[in-house]
Amino acid sequence: MNASLGNASLAAASGLGPKEPAAFVVEANGRRLLLDCGEGPEPGRLPDVERIGRVDAVVLSHGHNDHVGALRLLDRIGRPPVFATAPVLARLKGISGHAIPIRGHCEILGIKIETGTDGHAPGGVWLRLAVGDGLLYMGDYSFESRLYAFDQPPPTPTMIFDGSYGDAEEAIEPQYRRILDILARGPTLLPVPPDGRGPELAMVLLEAGFAVAIDDQVRSVATMLTQAARESARPDAADQRQIVGCTRMHVPALKQRAARFHQPAHRRA
Residues 6 or more apart whose CB falls under 8 angstroms from that of 201 comprise 179, 190, 192
Q: Which residue has the higher pLDDT, 35 or 132?
A: 35
Q: Where are the alpha helices (DSSP H) in 150-235?
A: 172-183, 197-207, 216-224
Torsion of CA 243, 244, 249, 250, to 10 degrees: 170
* pLDDT tens digits along 126-157: 999 999 989 999 999 998 899 999 999 999 99
Q: Tell me: the pLDDT tens digits for 191-203?
A: 889 998 899 999 9
pLDDT band at residue 239 under the 50/70/90 scheme: confident
The domains located in the chain, with CATH, are: 2-161 (3.60.15.10), 172-261 (no CATH)
